[in-house]
A and B are shown apart, each in its own frame.
Chain A
């Protein structure tokens, strides 16, 4: 990597939000022409802030950014774009109400000399550009007509077309299928050949090793190091990201259930007989026993979350019956479910889980207060104690119970939500994608918590798109397809291959 090859250099960047939160301290980073460079770190490591500084969304407090040896200081996205830095964000940041073509060209529309927009050229150019991406869609349709994956590809097409020298991809793959990811990688490699420098942020280590040339790791807002991808073993990488010696991590990641023999059948907690809900599940049969971790496998929309919602009284039951501990139960609302000892951590942490403007202790007592009713107010003292107890038990990283939950990292937010439900002392805990978008260390911790809880006799329903963690945690697995139960696997039968086979449409075993 000769010096002349250097495209973007970042030196000694610091950034603090207020006085307490130091997001970046003395961070450095460099990017070569024709390179794919992974920027890695756990949540809260400073990746996002670094990207925001590079793209002009946030202003740095200190430090130097150089592009082609020339110092730059972008103060807005527009300025960063003019300097040749363009970005694709994790959540699609395009306009759903505009056509695909317009989303690609807005702000830099081809115009004639009177300033009139040339729509024909916009549409033709967009078609040509997307052809390169192997995306053959109708560019005159509104963006919101297409799936998130397509939208993401459009965003990437836009970013790569903006005369960019540096392309920043901030977790672009989280909503893509594996075929789409492959396509994206093809495009990235092509852009690399053309001399573009690509910064790639992702949570998926497989992808890092598949497509990147170098890796820069950040941790707690500090620079850890830059490495050649092929020279850095995976376990070492994880160790650098979480900053522990990786023996401890290995132990957490390898935590397994005790052998089958040690586990015994417990009593049934909840039993569904032929339950249907309008528009979602049909004729569903389910039994969940105390002390087991039951997994729901299936593709998105297969009925995993929908069933959980029915069990929690969110979606109405139109037919069939529910028995909790052998007695008929009526789950007409979440409150009914809570009173029956059921708890539910929904899929969408930000919108359905946390209440950002409230403190940690306020977030924790919510469900318990609901369970007790408004006339049995939880005293401030009790709430504080409860919060402290769970901060310690679940190892929530926070300066104190008064911290607003929105200031915590995703993993810690998830732990607070978990605490909220554990505080209600549930017998049946449902977790929908509890580890999505959470760093590896916290992920392992949450998995361990799940196993501990089940070990102490709680019934757990675990829903996750990551088969790996399902394999690790679940004692029984139900596979869903098209809102129906299509297979069940017990103990040793559970394997990736078996799940895939059933999910894909093979016979239930």
Chain B
């Protein structure tokens, strides 16, 4: 058992992340070469402007994935938050109260799901499927039509932006909407939590093995419930950002978005088996989906081509992850 040589080993999620980033850059270059006006700061920044809500929700979902679970209720929670915000605002409830209430609903829904999963030892898939139906159902119960939002605060958040000028040329100019800063805060908080807090590390331990985690004296119940709480909280926050983005609430919006969030996380190197993953990877994963969408738009293709491409990518990534895992397994102990 000597020091393990000097050869550096790239760990699974790192190598996935590296591939993801390289792929993103390649796609960006591809677009830049192929289309006029593609290569610009605004193309890049619009990835965040257009996908901030999805990134926030996907960051939340990553917490659950790391813990070894899955949350498929997030898209419904986003829609629910959107509709009920619009509904309450229409009736004159102050904006800050609406936002507070929505976030609270998110936390309660999430923690309830987590508690059901933990204490009754239920499958996360089924519990969050029930959550998905419940939230989606409630959306339509609240309103079948699309409700416009005219609240001044929401409008400020929706339309307010910061101009970014990195140079004289048009290509070096872009803009960031205010709500993107919410994403930045969520991202920073998530990175810190996962890396530097006891809770974050417990989450990884839980994903690595629940029995082990509890035998090491970690608080499994609290960690697991909090993971689902955070996921739904992020979904609710994503829902609010989504209503900033669209200035309307409609119950049938974002159907299937939970799968976009989960696939982004996987593309970003998170393992569905738990224990491995980063929020940075997830954000890059969403950016990849965004850039595919952009290219598809430039090419004037049917937007479903986005899905086709992502399907191929997803397949590629899970196979790559598996191969790396198998190779790691084989070389295990050989170079001790």
Contact = CB atoms under 8 A, between A and B. Distances in A.
Given A137-B4, A146-B333, A89 B208 contact: no
B212 A94 contact: yes
A95 B212 contact: yes
A115 B204 contact: no
Given A141-B9, A145-B9, A147-B333, A77 B205 contact: no
B198 A111 contact: yes
Contact of B216 (A57, A77, A117, A142): A77
B332 A115 contact: no
Contacts of B192: 116
B209 interface: yes
Given A96-B208, A97-B275, A117-B196, A106 B3 contact: no
Interface in B156-206: 192, 195-198, 201-202, 204-205
A57 B215 contact: yes
Contact of A78 (B4, B207, B217): B217
B104 interface: no
Contact of A107 (B2, B196, B198, B276): B198
B223 to A, nearest CB: 11
Nearest to B219: A78
B13 to A, nearest CB: 9
A94 B214 CA distance: 10
Q: Of A76, A77, A115, which is in contact with the most chain B CB atoms at under 10 Å from its CB?
A: A77
Contact of B3 (A93, A97, A116, A136): A136
A137 B3 contact: yes
B213 A150 contact: no
B332 A106 contact: no
B211 interface: yes
Interface in A135-161: 135-138, 141-142, 144-147, 150, 158
Interface residues of A, number: 35
Contacts of B202: 106-107
A86 to B, nearest CB: 8
A318 B4 CA distance: 35
Interface in B212-245: 212-219
Nearest to A149: B1
A109 interface: yes
Contacts of A136: 1-3
Contacts of B198: 107, 109, 111, 115, 117
A117 B204 contact: no
Given A107-B218, A150-B336, A97 B276 contact: yes
A234 to B, nearest CB: 33
A141 B212 contact: no
Interface string B1-36: 111100001010000000000000000000000000
B4 A95 contact: no
A105 to B, nearest CB: 9
A129 interface: no
Given A94-B212, A147-B332, 8 more contacts: A89-B215, A95-B212, A96-B209, A97-B204, A97-B276, A98-B201, A102-B201, A107-B202
Interface of B: 1-4, 9, 11, 192, 195-198, 201-202, 204-205, 207-209, 211-219, 275-276, 328, 332-333, 336
Interface of A: 57, 76-78, 80-81, 87, 89, 93-98, 102, 106-107, 109, 111, 115-117, 119, 135-138, 141-142, 144-147, 150, 158
